[in-house]
């Protein structure tokens, strides 16, 4: 396909060519502002790169390990994996921002993204719930290199990802619905974690020590030759805990490979394993503080892609298994306690896509299949024959229940450009053996008011299936509901963006009307939490962002963002969790600057005010007290670091001013936590 008709539009200084960058467009050119820690101003240009089919192949062959400062460049993404559409706002955490962050794990890093609500039960990658635009933690899709790894048992486990922060190239966050060509519709948004795959042979190793007995080690190696790239890593982190029963021990192993030839296409794969033990102090019920949990995660995927002229095709296979042992009593169980909860969730899927680029635009068709199954002694339907839990001992270590379900989808998406106007339209039919077939449509459009200003709009409907926990969890003071219906919603958004030289700014607003929304609601009549479909929930919000990034020695970047969310649930107003506990006000500020020579510092300031109420638990009385509102709080993180080509050292402090705060009721978060680290690099 000839390239003489291509019009190059570029306006950014930092990116990397990752073949599986899921928010890159379908062979489309991308106009991007400097990728900030908070909101990057992304517009995906549909038609101006309609003649760039071969450029996508070049992008596959020329992947780079790290973002490199450059002047101007045209980028095309992997046509077979894109889920973003033109004129969508995507928040991006780049590799350079990851290295400057004061945190050492993915879940804490996600706190830095504007518009993203991260509620931690245990810090340092123990457990966190993530939500976008006032949605619940089950309404956000999580992907690893474009593969959907969202946990069907519960969103509490979706961030159990077997990679160290050193393996992450960047994290992209799509706000709002989309992902028609990925075989799923995102309800409130999606997070895609993109790992690093070096184009040279080398090795890295790192050690971190900190307060509360924290210690972490990491080692990784890469190999590159004759079209083959491989990487493997292992890491371990543990702590004695910042309070009673908050200790943890996490092991990760991760490997990936990529083999490309000009004629035969590209084969890529990944494999990961995580083993995690942690004290779950008050995690799910303040009545029993000495809860404990052990999880194991296995994941793998294999993908093949091929491009010929204006056509592109790909096929992806994936599998994820998650095992969980939950102990309501880790020590001194009462006589009525019959044993722990055991769960094993398997999900496997396939996705096939076909893309065609023509003068009329870019068209992508996709079909997908996904199988989800759970073994459990609390979730699902009774088994005829119990199954022993592997690697567990005891008379009660049996799976006595199970449940399986299947999902099918077919989608069609088309993007086009008419001078300053560009748009994408999509439709998807999705079927499930328990919930029937539904159709979803959506679209977005943008108009370039000038080289610096752009106006965009988007609209679509979306859905979310109940998790196995929503349907079947009946333990302690919680009651599931097997009669739940899928959540559905209609969303519209409007955005105005500005970019000029070192300046970036954005203002956006959205409105989402959801119905059959699932929530856990406390009923004072029986003192139990019940899983229910709340009739309707209307959510609206605005987001403002401004950034100045001259990338000078003394001032590298200064940025600020503000998000306001308002959620209006209908129906009865008993105390409820999740749905009405959104961050109503969130303010973030980032400052990155040099100090002297290679010494630099990075500051991150956050203010959060959460809506809703929680019920404090009176330990002496053994019952819940009167509901109270969440208190607003400030957080400040600081990292001071010295960077050399072969090594780097740092001192980092999270919650620098030692403020007391709650993400969830009855679960106090860590105070000031100081860590010191060293990283060494070796290149061939």
Q: Which CATH number is 133's domain given?
A: 2.40.170.20
Which of 89, 31, 86, 29 minimizes the C-alpha distance to 446? 86
Q: Looking at beta carbons, which pairs linking 546-550 to residues 24 or more positions away fall under 8 Å?
A: 546/503, 546/504, 546/505, 547/33, 547/34, 547/36, 547/38, 547/39, 547/503, 547/504, 547/505, 548/502, 548/503, 549/34, 549/36, 549/502, 549/504, 550/502
**pLDDT the model gives residue 620:** 81
**pLDDT the model gives residue 119:** 93
- Bigger pLDDT: 188 vs 238: 238
By residue range, what is the domain housing residue 670?
29-235+249-257+273-283+290-390+401-433+440-683
For the stretch 400-443, pLDDT in tens is 999 999 999 999 999 999 999 999 998 999 999 889 898 889 88
Contact yes or no for 330/340 (Cβ under 8 A): no
Start-to-end CA span in the chain (Å):
37
Distance between CA atoms of 280 and 324, rounded to whole angstroms? 13
On whether residue 422 sits in a domain, the answer given is yes
**pLDDT the model gives residue 291:** 94
Distance between CA atoms of 28 and 174, rounded to whole angstroms? 17
Distance between CA atoms of 1 and 311, rounded to whole angstroms? 10
**pLDDT the model gives residue 184:** 61
Determine which helix (DSSP H) or strand (DSSP E) holds 171, and give its type and residue range.
strand 168-175
Task: Over range 158-182, report the average pLDDT.
Answer: 84
- Bigger pLDDT: 312 vs 615: 312
Task: Over range 209-234, report the average pLDDT.
Answer: 95
Residue 77 has pLDDT above 50, yes or no: no
Distance between CA atoms of 353 and 22, rounded to whole angstroms? 13
Residue 574 has pLDDT above 90, yes or no: no
Stated pTM of the model = 0.86
Residue 187 has pLDDT above 90, yes or no: no
Which of 37, 128, 42, 35 minimizes the C-alpha distance to 83? 42
Task: Over range 170-175, report the average pLDDT.
Answer: 88
Task: Over range 384-402, report the average pLDDT.
Answer: 91
**pLDDT the model gives residue 684:** 76
On whether residue 503 sits in a domain, the answer given is yes
∠ CA 497-499-505, rounded to 5°: 50
Concatenating the DSSP letter of every residue in 172-227 gives: EEEESS--GGGTS--SSEEEEEEE---SS-EEEEEEEEETTTEEEEEEEEEEEETT
Task: Over range 70-90, report the average pLDDT.
Answer: 37
Distance between CA atoms of 637 and 346, rounded to whole angstroms? 38
Task: Over range 3-24, report the average pLDDT.
Answer: 38
**pLDDT the model gives residue 136:** 85
> What 3-state class would DSSP assign to 611?
coil
Q: Within a 10 A sphere around the Cβ of 93, how many other Cβ atoms?
A: 25
Residue 11 has pLDDT above 70, yes or no: no
Mean pLDDT of all residues in the chain?
84
Share of the chain above pLDDT 90, in %: 62
Residues found in the chain: 684
**pLDDT the model gives residue 593:** 96
- Bigger pLDDT: 626 vs 478: 626
What total number of domains does the chain contain?
1
Which of 589, 588, 537 minimizes the C-alpha distance to 116? 588
**pLDDT the model gives residue 621:** 83
**pLDDT the model gives residue 3:** 41
Q: Parallel, antiparallel, or unpaired: how do β-strands 478-479 and 528-548 relate?
A: parallel
On whether residue 17 sits in a domain, the answer given is no
On whether residue 572 sits in a domain, the answer given is yes
**pLDDT the model gives residue 62:** 36
Per-residue confidence band for 169, with pLDDT thresholds at 50, 70 and 90: very high
Burial class (CB in 10 A: 0-12, 13-18, 19+), 660: exposed
Which of 645, 637, 647, 619 minimizes the C-alpha distance to 675? 637
Residue 603 has pLDDT above 90, yes or no: yes
Distance between CA atoms of 524 and 192, rounded to whole angstroms? 40
On whether residue 395 sits in a domain, the answer given is no
**pLDDT the model gives residue 5:** 40
| CA–CA distances in Å: residue 288 to residues 11, 379, 531, 637 | 55, 21, 21, 32
Dihedral (CA of 466, 138, 150, 76) sign: positive
Concatenating the DSSP letter of every residue in 275-299 gives: EEEEE-TTSS-TT----EEEEEEEE
Outline where DSSP puts E strands in 341-435: 341-358, 361-376, 381-388, 398-418, 421-432
Share of the chain above pLDDT 70, in %: 84
**pLDDT the model gives residue 39:** 33
Residue 2 has pLDDT above 70, yes or no: no
**pLDDT the model gives residue 67:** 32
Residue 265 has pLDDT above 60, yes or no: yes
**pLDDT the model gives residue 576:** 56
> What 3-state class would DSSP assign to 446?
strand
Determine which helix (DSSP H) or strand (DSSP E) holds 57, and give its type and residue range.
helix 53-61
**pLDDT the model gives residue 88:** 57
> Which segment of 105-114, 151-160, 296-305, 370-379 scores lowest on mean pLDDT?
105-114
Per-residue confidence band for 477, with pLDDT thresholds at 50, 70 and 90: confident
On whether residue 241 sits in a domain, the answer given is no
**pLDDT the model gives residue 19:** 37
Which of 57, 62, 7 minimizes the C-alpha distance to 29? 7
Task: Over range 472-492, report the average pLDDT.
Answer: 87
For the stretch 635-667, pLDDT in tens is 999 999 999 999 999 999 999 999 999 999 999
Task: Over range 449-478, report the average pLDDT.
Answer: 89
Residue 616 has pLDDT above 80, yes or no: yes
**pLDDT the model gives residue 243:** 93
**pLDDT the model gives residue 185:** 66
Contact yes or no for 30/497 (Cβ under 8 A): no
Task: Over range 250-258, report the average pLDDT.
Answer: 97
**pLDDT the model gives residue 577:** 56
On whether residue 6 sits in a domain, the answer given is no
- Bigger pLDDT: 575 vs 391: 391
Per-residue confidence band for 182, with pLDDT thresholds at 50, 70 and 90: low
Residue 568 has pLDDT above 60, yes or no: yes
Distance between CA atoms of 434 and 593, rounded to whole angstroms? 54
On whether residue 242 sits in a domain, the answer given is no
Max mean pLDDT among 47-51, 106-110, 370-374, 391-395 falls in 370-374
**pLDDT the model gives residue 52:** 32
């Amino acid at each position: 396909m000839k390239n003489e008709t291509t019009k190059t539009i570029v306006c950014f200084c930092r990116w990397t060519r990752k073949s599986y960058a899921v928010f890159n467009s379908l062979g489309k050119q991308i106009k991007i502002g400097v990728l900030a820690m908070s909101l990057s101003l992304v517009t995906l240009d549909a038609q101006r790169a309609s003649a760039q089919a071969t450029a996508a192949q070049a992008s596959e062959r020329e992947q780079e390990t790290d973002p490199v400062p450059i002047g101007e460049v045209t980028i095309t993404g992997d046509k077979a994996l894109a889920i973003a559409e033109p004129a969508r706002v995507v928040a991006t955490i780049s590799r350079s921002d990851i290295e400057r962050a004061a945190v050492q794990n993915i879940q804490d890093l996600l706190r830095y993204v504007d518009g993203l609500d991260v509620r931690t039960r245990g810090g340092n990658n123990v457990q966190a719930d993530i939500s976008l635009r006032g949605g619940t933690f089950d309404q956000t899709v999580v992907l690893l290199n474009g593969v959907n790894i969202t946990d069907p048992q519960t969103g509490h486990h979706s961030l159990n990802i077997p990679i160290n922060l050193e393996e992450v190239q960047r994290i992209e966050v799509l706000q709002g619905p989309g992902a028609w060509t990925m075989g799923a519709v995102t309800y409130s948004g999606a997070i895609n974690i993109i790992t690093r795959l070096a184009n040279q042979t080398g090795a890295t190793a790192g050690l971190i020590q900190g307060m509360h007995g924290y210690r972490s080690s990491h080692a990784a190696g890469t190999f590159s030759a004759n079209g083959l790239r491989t990487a493997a890593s292992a890491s371990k982190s543990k702590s004695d805990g910042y309070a009673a029963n908050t200790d943890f021990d996490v092991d990760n192993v991760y490997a990936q490979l990529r083999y490309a030839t000009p004629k035969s296409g590209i084969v890529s794969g990944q494999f990961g394993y995580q083993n995690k033990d942690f004290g779950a102090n008050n995690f799910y019920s303040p009545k029993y503080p000495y809860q404990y949990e052990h999880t194991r995660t296995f994941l793998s995927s294999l993908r093949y892609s091929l491009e010929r002229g204006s056509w592109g095709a790909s096929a992806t296979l994936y599998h994820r298994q998650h095992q969980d042992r939950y102990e309501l009593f880790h020590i001194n169980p009462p006589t009525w306690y019959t044993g722990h909860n055991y769960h094993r969730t398997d999900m496997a899927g396939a996705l096939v896509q076909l893309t065609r680029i023509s003068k009329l635009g870019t068209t992508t068709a996709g079909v997908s299949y996904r199988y989800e199954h759970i073994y459990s002694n609390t979730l699902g339907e009774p088994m005829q024959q119990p199954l022993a839990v592997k690697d567990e001992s005891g008379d009660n270590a049996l799976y006595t229940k199970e449940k399986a379900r299947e999902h099918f989808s077919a989608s069609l998406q088309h993007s086009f450009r008419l001078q300053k106007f560009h748009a994408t339209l999509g439709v998807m039919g999705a079927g499930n053996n328990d919930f029937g077939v539904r159709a979803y449509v959506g679209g977005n459009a943008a108009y370039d008011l000038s080289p610096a200003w752009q106006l965009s709009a988007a609209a679509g409907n979306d859905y979310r299936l109940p998790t196995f926990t929503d349907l079947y969890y009946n333990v302690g003071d919680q009651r599931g509901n097997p009669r739940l219906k899928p959540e559905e919603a209609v969303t519209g958004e409007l955005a105005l963006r500005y970019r000029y030289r070192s300046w970036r700014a954005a203002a956006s607003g959205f409105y989402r009307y959801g119905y059959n929304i699932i929530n856990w609601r406390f009923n004072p009549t029986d003192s139990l939490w019940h899983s229910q479909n709340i009739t309707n929930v209307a959510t609206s919000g605005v987001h403002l962002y401004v950034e100045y990034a001259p990338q000078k020695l003394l001032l590298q970047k200064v940025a600020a963002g503000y998000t306001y969310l308002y959620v209006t649930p209908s129906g009865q107003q008993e105390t409820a969790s999740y749905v009405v506990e959104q961050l109503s006000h969130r303010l973030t500020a980032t400052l990155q600057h040099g100090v002297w020579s290679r010494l630099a510092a990075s500051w991150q300031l956050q203010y959060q005010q959460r809506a809703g109420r929680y019920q404090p638990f009176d330990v002496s009385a053994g019952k819940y007290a009167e509901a109270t509102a969440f208190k607003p709080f400030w957080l400040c993180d600081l990292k001071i670091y010295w960077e050399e080509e072969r090594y780097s050292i740092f001192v980092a402090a999270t919650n620098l001013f030692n403020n007391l705060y709650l993400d969830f009721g009855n679960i106090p978060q860590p105070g000031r936590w100081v860590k010191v680290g060293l990283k060494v690099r070796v290149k061939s």
